[in-house]
Amino acid sequence: MTSIGQSVPRIDAVGKVTGEALFPGDFNLENQAYMKILFAGRPHALILRVDITQAVALPGVLAVFTAEDVPVNEYGLIVNDQPVLCGLNSPKPHADRVRFAGDQVALVVAETEEIAAEALELIKVEYQDLPIITDPRVALQADQPLLHPDHGSNVFIKYRIRKGDVDSAFAGADVIVEGYYQTPAQEHAYLQPEAGISYVDEEGRVTVIVGGQWTHEDREQIAHALGLPEEQIRVIYPAIGGAFGGREDMSVQIVLALAAWRLHQRGINRPVKIIWSREESIIGHHKRHPYTIHTRWGADKNGKVVAAEVDIISDCGAYAYTSSKVLGNATLMCTGPYEIPNVKVDARTVYTNNIPNGAFRGFGGPQGAYAAETQMNKLAEALGMDPVEIRMRNLLDEGSLLSVGTPLPKGVSIKAVVAKCAEEAGWVKGDSGWTRPHGYFEPVPGKPHLKRGIGFACSFKNVGFSFGAPENCSATIEIEGTSEIERVKLYHAGAEVGQGAHTVFTQMAADAVGVPLEKVQLIASDTLTSLNSGSVSASRMTFMAGNAIRGAVERALEKWKNEERPARAEFKYLPPRTTPYDPETGKSEPNYAYGYVAEAVVVEVDLETGQVRLVDVKCADDVGKAVNPRMVKGQIEGAIVQAAGYGILENFIQVDGKVLTSTLSTYLIPTVLDIPEKVESIILEYPDPIGPWGARGMGEMPYLPLVPAISAGIRQATGKWFDQFPYTPERILMGLEDLSETD
């Protein structure tokens, strides 16, 4: 009766196709009120006065809440450096200032959304503007004002790696390539903007129905800000319209709970609902971190990389969010999946007055991979060597030491992944090594202005939280029936953000118990009914939930065999420990598992318009075990399309801390006309030794190598390296003009 490895239909498919599935914005409760948020609208200023008199007096307004109404006016995933509401008379130091345009200043609750919006216009806030810093390289300078005076520096956190003797290695290198790379911000652009509804239930619990990625973390942050015990907060996730890391940090969760709780204290027992507009969503939640990466790599004449030196600066934005975790990943991945004996890395993430930057699919991996893979492609060119061949001479293997001086966990498959991708893309392995395919590069018949090239890149990505972060996942199984198992109830808090997690949970539970899939009932994503699952992020949920479910099933079956019926059991899975970077050397055991990926991309460039088109993408991805192959393929294709947007289309523009691309008409994401002409998903299954059924996480992996592969394809098509993206027509044309002037 195995369900593992079967492409069973998603358990939420019918509800989502028919419209029966309810997303946070679809919930309507009797006698509900509506909330709107006053954003600061300016990037850096002191708040001198907040006058809500006229807003409160507007007919239909139930309440206006400011910083004075927040019991503990702070929150944050990593550190509590952000006020819930910026304003006066708050016990939080320096809460009387705004640090980015989306800082929240006041909440209006009214009978209708229209009245709430009107009341926002009546709130009078007097500001004293402060100097604006939007370039992290400027923020690093000693004479710049501190955005967080209590932190003592504009550098939020820094890491360093020291392995071997870089200077001596460079002195003996046969070739050295140097690059200065810039990666952009990116908007998550999920289908459903932030929305939710909150109320106080009959037990006095503040209940929030909202979209997120970690129910228990949301509960913890809400409870902290409201000064309430966690047991008095309930968080429920219904259907969620996408996340990609964009729902890890707070947006409307705390303020929804605050409004419902404060109304309740005033004797007004009414649910409070909010739905952000697309513009509010783009301004109000975090983005992918922009990075600047200056790096030098040296190799010997045989293509062996002997040294890598990397300097990284990332734009933290106004608040920390997950910047330390993202920087940690980039610090590890900026030297790629290669064994390099001599490594020096200095990495910093720096506060600015831009929108905060945080979790986004890949979590620092795409930025690091862009620099690492482009460097490897440039080394191959400098040595006259095939880009696959040079990789095969340097890739990590079992027992290989990472830049942090420790070996990878068992199950290293990157060489097999690279070889399979290369073969599928037309590379041939001969006596002298790998050679790239031919035939892509002649002009398209009748269209000499169209040039094609093929680029190759590979990467690896951690599964789970890293660098010593606490890591666990719990599941509860209940087996019902008398003489035989009639029903299996699985209680699990893991979020379903569109990736198919809940379907995979039921498949794993059915397989572990040994019953048909239809006998499994999932009760999910509710802090009242489920134990902590950890976040649906870092490609961890299949890996962690599978181990937790299997452990709970084993305990429940033991009780069942001993005639305890119904049989109920809980299990908390704890993976192998990880350790943080040593502050001087960077030595650590960063992760307990990885996934491995390689991509070959055929690129077409229009020399007349600068338009870049993706003709063919081959993506080889080691998933360990494809629990649901169809959904794995969907994740691969979705990641590639999203990464294509990152690389070619999505030009997020902030000027002096203000967003100029706040709509989907000015911030362009891929449509059906922009996706690659062909995507081939090559699903490989080399079991992870500690993964459930051998499974690895894979939701982020296909994202990482795409942009550097595109870059290499553009180089082959045009003869020019472009070390900054997105590769918009304007950027390509300007670069080609520079090339012609040089010639």
Over the range 697-725, which residues count as b (16 or more CB within 10 Å of their CB) and which as e?
A: bbbbbbbbbbbbbbbbbbbbbbebbbbeb
Domain co-membership, 563 together with 473: yes
Amino acid of residue 176: I
Structure tokens at 709: 């592969």
Asked if 489 and 435 sit in the same domain, the reply is no
Structural domain includes residue 7: no
Cα first-last separation, the chain? 67
Instruction: Kindly report the pTM of this predicted structure.
Output: 0.97
Query: Listing from the earlier edge strand, what are the strands of the sheet with 612-622?
Result: 450-462, 594-606, 612-622, 679-684
288: closest CA among 364, 193, 352? 364
**What span, in angstroms and rounded, lies between the C-alpha atoms of 460 and 113?**
46
Dihedral sign for Cα atoms in the order 582, 587, 589, 590: positive
User: Is 248 contained in some domain?
Assistant: no
> How far from 700 is each of 112, 266, 395, 665, CA to CA, in Å?
40, 46, 20, 27
What are the mean pLDDT values of the chain's consecutive 10-residue runs (743 residues total)?
92 96 97 98 97 98 97 96 92 85 98 98 98 97 95 97 98 98 98 97 97 98 98 98 96 98 97 98 97 98 98 98 97 98 98 98 97 98 97 98 97 98 96 82 80 96 95 98 95 97 98 97 98 96 98 98 95 98 98 98 96 97 98 97 98 97 96 94 98 96 98 96 98 88 61
* In a domain? residue 286: no
What is the distance of C-alpha 477 from the center of its chain? 30
Do 476 and 452 reside in the same domain of the chain?
no
State the pLDDT at residue 742.
62
| Nearest partner of 5 among 508, 377, 407, 341, judged by Cα | 508
The C-alpha atoms of residue 554 and residue 371 are separated, in whole angstroms, by 45
- Residue labelled with tokens 């990482």: 704
Tell me, what's the pLDDT at 438? Answer: 72
How many domains in the chain?
Answer: 3
Closest CA to 589 of 404, 411, 342, 364: 404
Same domain, 458 and 318: yes
The encoded tokens of residue 339 equal 């064994």
Per the CB < 8 A criterion, the answer to whether 632 and 623 are in contact is: yes
Indicate whether 692 and 709 sit together in one domain.
yes
556, 573, 590 — which closes off a domain?
A: 573
Domain of residue 124, CATH code: 3.90.1170.50
Rounded to whole angstroms, what are the CA distances from 485 to 491, 513, 555, 565?
17, 9, 15, 10
Domain identity same for 368 and 508: no
- Specify whether 443 is located in the same domain as 307: yes
Which residue among 536, 551, 573 closes a domain? 573
Instruction: State the residue range of the domain holding 405.
Output: 291-466+582-742
Domain annotation covers residue 318: yes
**Are 593 and 462 found together in one domain?**
yes
Task: Assess whether 499 and 486 both reside in one domain.
Answer: yes
Strand partners, 461: 595
Domain end marker among 130, 149, 170: 130
Residue 228 resides in a domain: no
Any domain includes 244: no
Q: Is residue 720 part of a domain?
A: yes
CATH for 480: 3.30.365.10
pLDDT value at residue 1: 62
Q: Do residue 559 and residue 586 come from a single domain?
A: no
Does 492 lie in the same domain as 424? no
In this structure, are 621 and 720 located in the same domain? yes
Does 138 reside within a domain?
no
